[in-house]
Chain A
Amino acid sequence: KAGVTQTPRYLIKTRGQQVTLSCSPISGHRSVSWYQQTPGQGLQFLFEYFSETQRNKGNFPGRFSGRQFSNSRSEMNVSTLELGDSALYLCASSIEPGQGARGYTFGSGTRLTVV
């Protein structure tokens, strides 16, 4: 079966713009989490969604938001982009909350560059 699909794979944006990233989980997976990966801060948890509801949120400013649709696909949005938002954004899915302990399945990420 198809893995976790993230689109686009690469993205270049200008400071001040906004961006939307998409994540389609593995079929049957209903829990989606997002992580930001940067050389300086490493991998940091952004948020987790299940049944179209945000269950948990990491320590990021309000410019970072997300949502989940009824088909479990998720999007994250970053408004008023800053240079420091340049990062690899990874999406991970699991069947449902509590099943992440079995190990998440990650996508290949979206590489966002802010210029």
Chain B
Amino acid sequence: AQTVTQSQPEMSVQEAETVTLSCTYDTSESNYYLFWYKQPPSRQMILVIRQEAYKQQNATENRFSVNFQKAAKSFSLKISDSQLGDTAMYFCAFMMGPNFGNEKLTFGTGTRLTIIP
């Protein structure tokens, strides 16, 4: 079974600074996807960024980027120029490749990120 570990329960950073959230995972498969989801107080889970395991290039989405280290099974999220609206719970998630016929997400325990004005 796949597992996802987020070792930082809480983090805080000053507005406009850069912050990195850590995530490690465990799987014996080579075809999978990794995600970072954000859950603000509104409760809706919002996709921040995704990474396909077969792609060596790290994904980026505006101020958000990942450091994907496949051999180390590490998938960290970097938020640059942090904004107050980035305050939320951040979940790292794993999904097997579509050929496995099971697209369930396995989530980590989350990191509560607070951006300080």
Interfacial residues, chain A to chain B (CB-CB below 8 A): 3, 31, 33, 35, 42-43, 45, 48, 55-56, 58, 88, 90, 92, 94, 97-98, 100-109, 111
Contact = CB atoms under 8 A, between A and B. Distances in A.
Contact of B107 (A43, A98, A100, A111): A43
Interface pairs A-B: 3 shortest CB-CB:
A100-B103, A106-B45, A98-B98
Given A90-B45, A102-B50, A106-B46, A43 B104 contact: no
A56 B43 contact: no
9 contacts: A42-B109, A48-B102, A90-B43, A94-B103, A101-B52, A103-B50, A105-B47, A106-B46, A107-B44
Nearest to A98: B98
A48 B103 contact: yes
Contacts of B91: 43
B103 A98 contact: yes
A97 B44 contact: no
Nearest to A44: B107
Nearest to B104: A45
Interface in B72-117: 91, 95, 97-98, 101-110
Given A33-B103, A33-B104, A88-B43, 4 more contacts: A3-B44, A35-B105, A98-B98, A101-B98
B107 A101 contact: no
Given A42-B109, A48-B103, A48-B104, A100 B95 contact: yes
B106 A109 contact: no
A101 B95 contact: yes
B64 interface: no
Contacts of B109: 42
Most buried by A among B33, B44, B46: B44
